Structures are given as structure tokens and as C-alpha cells.
Amino acid sequence: MGNSEKSISSAVIKRLPRYFRYLGVLKANNITRISSKELSEQMMVTASQIRQDLNNFGGFGQQGYGYNVDNLYTEIGKILGLDKRNDMIIVGAGNLGQALANYQSFNEDYGYKVMALFDVNPKLIGISVRGVKVLDIDEMESFIKAHDIKIAALTLPKDQAPEMAKRLVEWGIKGIWNFAPIDLHLPEDVTVENVHLAESLMTLTYNIHNREESGD
Ligand SMILES: NC(=O)c1ccc[n+]([C@@H]2O[C@H](COP(=O)([O-])OP(=O)(O)OC[C@H]3O[C@@H](n4cnc5c(N)ncnc54)[C@H](O)[C@@H]3O)[C@@H](O)[C@H]2O)c1
């Protein structure tokens, strides 16, 4: 594929998971090929945007044929790294940590395997969430190293998050899925993906109230 030879804009990368999701639905419905026009109608983006985005990867479409759904799904999956092992841990096994561990689709649809949750609360240590154990935080360093874990979800109180993130990186974590509402300052070779539901909710209320005020 050679996509690593060329840098792909972050705007395109951000759109890829959505292509992947739509293609997954087409695949599940036994649809084997689709034109950029049909895909554009379903996804509500322009056909030229789709062609441009997919051309970044050598263009998987053929004139007059459209896109082979299986191929495109596989190739985008590879670009997103879903063909690799993506084992992860969850740090903080409270409401949100357990909700993430309970969400089957990460594993079943995308292959992200939650290997363990970690917490400091003795009441939680030892329980299982969908078959995954909550372990004592003191076991985390050796667990990360033994299982070569590269991804950690941070679902612990925000005042604990920066220090925890630093330790995780020292122990080999390369990607932090950060749910704690605080910015993390980490070395450049570490990827942080922030997920802040409240921020998206604020965008929603901004839009609602601005529409109301402008009378749309
Ligand atoms: N990003 C979002 O959209 C979103 C949504 C909800 C909650 N949150 C954030 O996620 C975090 C967790 O929220 P919650 O509702 O699950 O809280 P919670 O209190 O239910 O869970 C937090 C867990 O972290 C554990 N913990 C505390 N210190 C720890 C440490 N040093 N090491 C390991 N575990 C530790 C606690 O024992 C607890 O089980 C909070 O920071 C909250 O603000 C984010």
C-alpha cells in the first residue's frame, strides 16, 4: 500500500473511520460494489470528496465499476492499523471504564482487545467486566511490559491523569485514549486522542441557541 511513504492530511485520516463504518454496513448487507455517487448519497459528502480522499491511497475505484467494497474495507482497515494487534488496557475501572469494557463492538467489529482494567479501589480489584479482570494498579507496569501493550484508555479522575499518563509512557504506552477532562503534555512520539463528551455537547448547544437566535 505504501501509505506510510506519503503523509496523509489529518482531515482525511479523521474521515477514514466513517468510510470504514459505512463500508462495514455495506459488507454486512452483501453489497459488493458501490459507486462514489451512491456512497456519497449515503454518507452525505460529495462524490468528489470521496474520490479525492480515496485517491490519497492510490484510488481503489475503477471507472465505470465503482469501488469494490471488500477491497476498500480491507485497505482502509489496514491504513487505520486494524490489521495489527491492538491490545489495550483501561486505567480507572469506574463508571466510564466499565462502560468501555462492556462495549463489545470495539472488539467484535474492530479488533481492539481490552486485556485488563486497573484501579486503586479494593472493592473493584478482582471483579470481572465482560470477562476482563480489574487488576491492582501496582500490577500495571509489569502487565504492560509482559503483554507489550501500546494503548491505554484513561478513565480516572482528572487530577490523577497527567501523572498516570507520564508513567504509562515510561512503561511503553504509545497511544493514550484520554477521557479525563484535562490536557496531557507528553513526548511527541506519543499519540493522545481526547474524547470529551461535554465538549461535543457544548457544540450542540451552541448550534441550537445560535439557530434559535438567528430565527432559522
Ligand atoms: N470524556 C468524557 O466524555 C467523559 C465522560 C464521563 C466521564 N469522564 C471522565 O472520566 C473519568 C472517570 O469518570 P467516571 O464517571 O468513570 O468516574 P468514577 O469515579 O466512576 O471512576 C473513576 C475510577 O478511577 C479510579 N481511580 C482513582 N484514582 C486512580 C488511580 N490513581 N489509578 C487508578 N485508578 C484510579 C477510582 O477508584 C474509580 O474507580 C473522570 O475524569 C471523568 O471526568 C469523561
> Is 96 annotated as ligand-binding?
yes
Helix 36-43, helix 10-28: angle, nearest 10: 100
Give pLDDT tens digits along the chain (216 positions): 444 446 778 888 889 999 999 999 999 999 999 988 898 998 888 988 988 888 877 666 666 778 889 988 999 999 999 999 999 999 999 999 999 999 988 988 899 999 999 999 999 999 999 999 999 999 999 999 999 999 999 999 999 999 999 999 999 999 999 999 999 999 999 999 999 999 999 999 999 998 766 655
User: Would you state the pLDDT for residue 7?
Assistant: 73
| 93 in a labelled binding site | yes
Q: Which of 90, 135, 140, 155 to mutate to test the pocket of ligand 1 (most atoms within 8 A of CB)?
A: 155
Tell me: is residue 131 an annotated ligand-binding position.
no
Among 76, 79, 85, 80, residue whose Cα is nearest residue 26: 76
CA of 80 to the centre of ligand 1 (A): 28
Domain boundary assignment for the chain? 3-79, 86-198
For ligand 1, is residue 91 a contact (CB within 6 Å)? yes
Alpha carbons 114 and 106: distance in angstroms, whole number: 9
Query: What integer pLDDT is reported at residue 11 of this predicted model?
Result: 87
Report the pLDDT value the prediction gives residue 165, as an integer from 0 to 100.
98
Report the C-alpha gap between 131 and 116 in whole angstroms: 9
Written out in words, the top-level CATH class of the domain with range 3-79 is: mainly alpha
Same fold, 3-79 and 86-198: no
Instruction: Tell me, in angstroms, the distance from the centre of ligand 1 to residue 96's CA.
Output: 7
State if residue 111 touches ligand 1 by the CB under 6 angstroms criterion: no
Q: Are 66 and 34 in contact (CB under 8 A)?
A: yes
Q: Which residue CA neighbors atom 39 of ligand 1 most closely?
A: 94
The beta strand positions in the chain, using DSSP E, are 33-34, 61-62, 66-68, 86-91, 112-119, 128-129, 132-136, 151-154, 175-178, 191-194
Cα angle 108-82-42, degrees, rounded to a multiple of 5: 75
Say whether 97 counts as a known binding-site residue: yes
User: How many C-beta atoms surround the C-beta of residue 139 within 10 A?
Assistant: 14
Ligand 1 site, residue 197, Cβ cutoff 6 A: yes
Q: Is 57 in the pocket of ligand 1 (CB under 6 A)?
A: no
Pocket of ligand 1 contains residue 196 by CB under 6 Å: yes
Residue 92 known to bind ligand? yes
Query: Is CATH 3.90.700.10 the classification given to domain 86-198?
Result: no
